[in-house]
Copies of this chain bind each other. A is one copy, B any other.
Amino acid sequence: MAAPVVDLNADVGESFGAYRLGSDEDLLNSLSSVNIACGWHAGDPVVMDRTARLSARLGLGIGAHPGYPDLLGFGRRNMQITPDEAAAYVLYQLGALQGFARAAGSSLRHVKLHGAFYNQAAFDEELGDAVLRAIAQFDSGLIVFGLSGSPFLEMARGRGLGIAHEVFADRGYNPNGSLVARGREGALIGDERIAAERAVRMVTEARVRAIDGTDISIQADTICIHGDHPGAPHLARVVRQALEQAGAKIAPPGLAAQ
C-alpha cells in the first residue's frame, strides 16, 4: 500500500512596509506549500518578491492568497462586493503574484482565498462562482484550496480546476464538518501534540473527533498551519514530524506521484 501523501500549508508574506508579521523564514522550512498575501489585506511587492524567491528556492508550492481591499481590517471583515468585483479582484491579485513567482523561476500552483473573502465565497454561491470563473480564466491548471467537503470545492471541480480539501490541525470541528467558530469553547487546539495527533489521524484514517465526541469522516489533502502567531514555526515542526513518523509523505497537492 502506498504511503499517504499530504500537503502542509500556511499563510505567509503578511508583512507590510515597516510592519513585520509572522516568522516566515523559520516557518517555511516545515511547509510544502505557501499562500502568499498579494498586497491587499497584507503583504507588499517587496515582501512578495522576497517570499516568492525564498519559497521557490525551498521547492515549495507557491499559491496566491487574495483578500479584500481592507488592509486596515486585515481582510477579516465582511464586505458586500459584487461578483464582477470579486472576479476582478482575484484576477488582479493572481496576476500580481504570478509576476513574482515567474521572476523567481517558479509559477503559481494554487489559490486560497483569505479571511472574509474565503468565508463569503464559501457561502455565497454567486460570489464563489465568480471567483472560480476568474481563476479558471487565469490558468485552468491551478489548484483551489477550500474547506474540506465544502460545495465550493465541488464547484471548482465542475469548472475543471484542481482541488485540495483543506483541514486544520489546531481547530475544533462540529459534527457536520464545519469549524467551531472562534471564540467558542473548543475552537482552538492549544496543545501541539494533540494537534499533531489529530493531523496524523485525518491523514491516515480520514477521520477526526468532533467537538461532541463523535468521529466524523474528513478528507485531508492539505493541512493549514496558522502563520500569524509566534508559535507557528514550532507547531509546524511538530505536526510535520508526527506525520513523517506515521509514514506520510509531505508534498504539494498533485506533486506526490511526479
Instruction: Show the binding face of A for B, using Cβ within 8 Å.
Output: 16-21, 39, 42, 44-46, 48-49, 69-74, 76-81, 84-85, 87-89, 91-100, 102-103, 116, 134, 137-139, 228
Contacts and interface: CB of A to CB of B under 8 A. Distances in A.
A85 B45 contact: yes
A20 B19 CA distance: 7
Nearest to A103: B137
18 contacts: A18-B21, A18-B42, A19-B20, A44-B72, A48-B92, A49-B87, A69-B70, A77-B80, A77-B81, A78-B80, A92-B99, A93-B96, A94-B99, A95-B97, A95-B100, A98-B98, A102-B139, A103-B137
A193 B81 CA distance: 36
Contacts of A78: 78-80
A46 B95 contact: no
Contacts of A102: 95, 137-139
B73 A138 contact: no
Contacts of A79: 70, 73, 77-80
B95 A138 contact: no
A81 B46 CA distance: 12
A121 to B, nearest CB: 15
A35 to B, nearest CB: 16
Nearest to A102: B138
Nearest to A39: B92
A153 to B, nearest CB: 22
Given A72-B16, A88-B45, A103 B228 contact: no
A241 B100 CA distance: 42
Given A77-B80, A99-B138, 18 more contacts: A17-B72, A18-B21, A19-B19, A44-B72, A45-B85, A45-B89, A46-B84, A46-B85, A46-B88, A49-B91, A69-B72, A73-B81, A77-B79, A78-B80, A95-B97, A95-B102, A102-B138, A103-B134
Contact of A96 (B69, B70, B73, B96): B96
A92 B88 contact: no
Nearest to A86: B45
A254 to B, nearest CB: 22
A18 B49 CA distance: 22
Contacts of A96: 92-93, 95-96, 99
